Amino acid sequence: MLLDIINNDINQLVNVLAVLAITTTAYYLVIFPLFYHPLAKIPGPTICSLSKYWILYKSWSEQRNRYVNLLHEKYGPIVRIGPDEVDISDVKYLQDIYVRNFDKSTFYTQFVSYDSGNTFSTVDKKTHKDSRKVSHKFYSKTNICSDNIQSKVEKVMIKTLGVFDESKNKDINCFILFSEMAMDAVNAFAFGDNYISVLDDPWGKGKEVIDSFGLQSSAWFWTTQMPQWYEWVIDSKVNAASAKVSEWIDKQFRTCYSALKTTAEGLDQETLLSTLVNSDTSSIFTQKRIKSELFDHIAAGHITTGTTMAYLCYELAKNVDIQKLLQEELKEFNQGKYIKSNNYNPIRYTDIDEKLPIMQAVITETFRVHAAIPGQEPRVTPPGGMIWRGTTDENVKAYPQCKVETEPCKIPGGTIVTMQPWSLHRVPGVFENENEWQPMRWIDSTPERIREMKRHLMHFGAGSRMCIGQHLATAEINIILASLLSRYSVELVDGWDYERDSEMLDIYTTVPRSECLLLRFVPLL
């Protein structure tokens, strides 16, 4: 009898505990995140409110940028994409998030090399500020336009024009060639005259270097978002490529560092390396830190400019009418003449900077549609959080198809907030036919509309952490575009599937899907 009572009580206790466990689990996993979480008022798919792994899956499967953009079209300028993460596509919040300089998330902490961090990987504001100020002046537009830097860039452009001349009328992978051009430019900027030129053998050893950087970067998802799984999932070929490019940069570092310390020529050269070595922040810039800094600048500086120029020329080949307008503008600039392909003297950046409206429109529209870094730029809200000020009339105009309005609410401290250029560059109420490459919008629109469109551009980031190399990249793009279109027409290649093989990858830093974009450059003379 007593045993029956005890067994019955135990069974009842087990049942009660089971109900409590199920109820508690349901509350914390479902009810709280959907109804009581501080972000519960922010619209978005239910699955995103319940689990962070849905948006991680979208990143891993290379769908995130387009997926988040579709969410904005459905839900408006703010969407909840994770239990503790929101994405905002409202230009007014650039000030709140990036100009006020919220700390970076851990997304960036894995961008390290030689067992050392760098300015880009630095999360907290104070260390970042101290690190960035060392090289910021060297990257200023004034310095980029100086005779010292322009002579370095022009030497690279002469080599590049030589390769185009040798490859005229042939089908060439312009993504590789433009990446090599940018690689040589940033290497010359970093190391001076003793850098290793990939343009010396563009389709052989040079391509091997670019391919190795590409293979190393293919691990971006595991590096940035699931680093705990990196060792388990990464192919040995990726590690071999990483070792190869690290040694390639280290070799240049050792040569140039030795020259910097021991020769008059080295002491006289003004380079990024000399700027970092001679800074008064030796506590920050150890040798490992300097190498990591150089690696980051070289890796980012070549792939972004290469991608931008490849898609720019692709759009010109598709849009022959725009190409002809640009060629006529350049012909007028060149005293009514085209230039022969065997003339390798490039047009000087200081001669054309912002002086050719059609060319600037072509460049700006390419930055918009084909932003080289279209993906999320995550930040962490400070302990006091931030305020979402609610849906405004501007938001309604920006997303006219959206019927969802979001009330003002507080986004708590520790929340990941992101903005992605892919969405900001495609706000329907700001950019008519937002997915189409239409450079004349930057000429034919009203001054007010042009100002509004410019406010939405984020291709170089925003705030104090925006791309430090933007002026160097802009100079390269202006020089090579003006020089090429004064000499060549750009044509598509019959039989190449541009939609399948050259589509922009839906990842943080994009490249053509096959890392190949075939075009033909035909001399005008």
349 & 272 share domain: yes
Residues above pLDDT 90, as percent of the chain: 73
- Please give the helix or strand (H or E) that residue 190 lies within, else none: helix 174-191
Q: Are residues 99 and 19 in the same domain?
A: no
CA atoms of 136 and 138, how far apart (whole Å): 5
* Same-domain status, 470 and 365: yes
Residues 6+ apart with CB under 8 A from 222: 229, 230, 233, 234
Q: What is the distance between the alpha carbons of residues 391 and 469, in angstroms, rounded to a whole number?
A: 35
Q: Answer whether residue 462 is part of any domain.
A: yes
Locate 377 and state its tokens: 């730029």
pLDDT value, residue 1: 55
Distance of CA 357 to the CA centre of its chain: 25
User: Does residue 71 form part of some domain?
Assistant: no
Residue 234 and residue 116 in one domain: yes
- Ordered DSSP codes for 430-476: TSTTTTS--TTHHHHS-HHHHHHHHHT--TT--GGGS-TTHHHHHHH
In this structure, is residue 52 part of a structural domain?
Answer: no
Same domain, 114 and 192: yes
Are 153 and 277 in the same domain?
yes
Q: Are residues 18 and 152 in the same domain?
A: no
Say whether both 29 and 168 belong to one domain. Answer: no
176 and 184 Cβ atoms separated by less than 8 Å? no
| Pair (96, 30) in one structural domain | no
233's CB contacts (< 8 A; 6+ apart) are 222
Residue 410 within a domain: no
Is this structure's pTM higher than 0.85? yes
CATH number of the domain bearing residue 503: 1.10.630.10
- Picking from 311, 354, 335, 333, the residue whose alpha carbon sits closest to that of residue 478 is 354
Based on the domain organization, do 110 and 12 belong to the same domain? no
> Is residue 336 one of the residues assigned to a domain?
yes
DSSP character for 346? P
Q: Which runs of E-coded beta strand occur in 29-179?
A: 78-82, 85-88, 103-104, 171-173
Is 500 among the domain residues? yes
pLDDT for the residue numbered 494: 95
pLDDT value for 9: 67
Low-confidence ranges of the chain (pLDDT < 70): 1-9, 263-269, 281-283, 353
- Side chain identity at 460, as an amino acid letter? F
**Cβ atoms of residues 482 and 309 within 8 Å:** no
Residues 149 and 18 in one domain: no
**Domain for residue 95, yes or no?**
yes
Q: Is residue 357 part of a domain?
A: yes
pLDDT of residue 258: 85
Boundaries of domain holding 157: 89-377+419-523
Count CB neighbours of 142 within 10 A. Answer: 9
Q: How far apart are CA 104 and CA 128, in angstroms?
A: 10
pLDDT at 15: 76
- Same domain, residue pair 197 and 334: yes
Count: domains in the chain: 2
Amino acid occupying residue 241: A
